[in-house]
Amino acid sequence: MTNGKSICTVCNYVYDESLGEPRQGIPSALKFDHLSADWRCPECNSAKDMFQPCSCVSLPTYEQTCVVHRKEQKNSNNDSLTASKATPVGQLVAQRPARACILESYGIDYCCGGKTTLEDACLKRGIRVEDVLEKLFVADQKEEPSSIDWTQAKLKDLVEHIVSTYHDPLRKELSRVALLSEKVARVHGDNHPEMVKVKDVFNRFKAQLELHMQKEEMVLFPGIVSTETTGNPQIFGCGGGIEHPIEVMGQEHDEAGEALCTLRQLTKDYTPPEDACGSFKVLLFSLMQIESEMHQHVHKENNILFPRALALQKPTASCR
Ligand SMILES: [Fe+2]
Ligand SMILES: [Fe+2]
């Protein structure tokens, strides 16, 4: 997931390998890993181990650091890609992935709530749909390097992309953040009892998600790839079709989404309190990053992979 950028989890400064850091006499093209061990953030003086590979976490960070703009393929159907009030939010992002960060900045759920129209999603959040449409329009005008259109790519490639881009890094991140949440709960639990709840919610979220990803990788994803490759529908469990594991995975996505909402509420939108130490801030930042990655991950499954897999499936005998 590395893009040559590493972000300071304390102040959001981004070390960009393509630029180096002229203020410290660091030349361009010097990899982050090759910076000396005692190198420190030029903005807040945090140690090197407070940095993480950079990915989009919020609109400000996205706009300041990670934004990559995709040149949209010119086609005569461009009007059909224009955002409108009536378009389901999951579809908006499936058409143009860069829209995800705009919706995230308004707290609009485009993964589990992907079937909701933009107008209804805005109503639910108490925001003006016109304001969101304007931001989406601006984002649509930005040019981006070409990227894969997952609505058209082979499902085998999409599955590999999901596993390598989301599942594998998430497993590592869940373990790291679980340790961090234990530490913050232990050190700050007396003054911040909500952080003990955060630890408990996160541990349940981690356990459920690890099992969920294992089921996807061992059962559902091979079934989808096999159906695409052979053209033969797969039989799951008691003789049902692929819709059964997809339904279960969808329910588990909803549960994961609820856990993330709880974490956001407990931490007041991941806002560090006045007395937060470095570990506390890193934990909040990491939770925010996991939420953002989960939105993109679940969006690609709920709104692209699963509907496309269902479309491949011919009617099969159902459970008796
Ligand atoms: Fe997944
Ligand atoms: Fe999933």
Cβ–Cβ < 8 Å for 277, 50: no
How far does the centroid of ligand 2 lie from the alpha carbon of residue 183, in Å?
Answer: 28
* pLDDT at residue 20, rounded to an integer: 86
How far does the centroid of ligand 2 lie from the alpha carbon of residue 73, in Å?
Answer: 29
How far does the centroid of ligand 1 lie from the alpha carbon of residue 145, in Å?
Answer: 26
Which residues place a Cβ less than 5 A from the ion ligand 2? 301
How far does the centroid of ligand 2 lie from the alpha carbon of residue 229, in Å?
Answer: 21
* Interval 209-235 mean pLDDT: 92
Of 47-56, 92-101, 167-176, 198-207, the poorest mean pLDDT is in 47-56
pLDDT of 162 > 90? The answer is yes
* pLDDT at residue 49, rounded to an integer: 82
How far does the centroid of ligand 1 lie from the alpha carbon of residue 167, in Å?
Answer: 6
Reported residue count of the chain is 320
Q: From 202, 191, 227, 167, select the one nearest 284 (Cα to Cα).
A: 202
How far does the centroid of ligand 2 lie from the alpha carbon of residue 302, in Å?
Answer: 8
How far does the centroid of ligand 2 lie from the alpha carbon of residue 210, in Å?
Answer: 10
How far does the centroid of ligand 2 lie from the alpha carbon of residue 153, in Å?
Answer: 19
Average model confidence (pLDDT) for the chain? 83
Cβ–Cβ < 8 Å for 198, 263: yes
Of 45-49, 75-79, 148-152, 250-254, the poorest mean pLDDT is in 75-79
Residue 307 CA, chain-centre distance (Å), reads 19
Angle at which helix 194-215 crosses helix 278-299, to 10 degrees, equals 30
Percent above pLDDT 70 for the chain = 84
How far does the centroid of ligand 1 lie from the alpha carbon of residue 297, in Å?
Answer: 6
pLDDT of 76 > 50? The answer is no
List the domains of the chain with CATH numbers.
5-140 (2.20.28.10), 155-312 (no CATH)
Residue 250 CA: which ligand is closest?
A: 2
Across 6-27, b (16+ Cβ under 10 Å) vs e yields bbbbbebbbbbbeebbeeeebe
pLDDT of 129 > 60? The answer is yes
* Interval 194-222 mean pLDDT: 97
* pLDDT at residue 57, rounded to an integer: 38
How far does the centroid of ligand 2 lie from the alpha carbon of residue 306, in Å?
Answer: 10
How far does the centroid of ligand 2 lie from the alpha carbon of residue 267, in Å?
Answer: 25
How far does the centroid of ligand 2 lie from the alpha carbon of residue 300, in Å?
Answer: 9
Percent above pLDDT 90 for the chain = 46
* pLDDT at residue 168, rounded to an integer: 94
How far does the centroid of ligand 2 lie from the alpha carbon of residue 145, in Å?
Answer: 27
**Helix and strand totals (H; E) in the chain:** 12, 3
How far does the centroid of ligand 1 lie from the alpha carbon of residue 298, in Å?
Answer: 6
Q: How far apart are CA 82 and CA 78, in angstroms?
A: 7
pLDDT of 71 > 60? The answer is no
How far does the centroid of ligand 1 lie from the alpha carbon of residue 166, in Å?
Answer: 7
Residue 111 CA: which ligand is closest?
A: 2
How far does the centroid of ligand 1 lie from the alpha carbon of residue 122, in Å?
Answer: 27
Residue 246 CA: which ligand is closest?
A: 2
How far does the centroid of ligand 1 lie from the alpha carbon of residue 190, in Å?
Answer: 36
What is the strand order of the sheet 14-16 is part of? 14-16, 5-8, 51-53
* pLDDT at residue 107, rounded to an integer: 80
How far does the centroid of ligand 1 lie from the alpha carbon of residue 267, in Å?
Answer: 25
One DSSP character per residue, 268-305 reads: TTTPPPTT--HHHHHHHHHHHHHHHHHHHHHHIIIIII
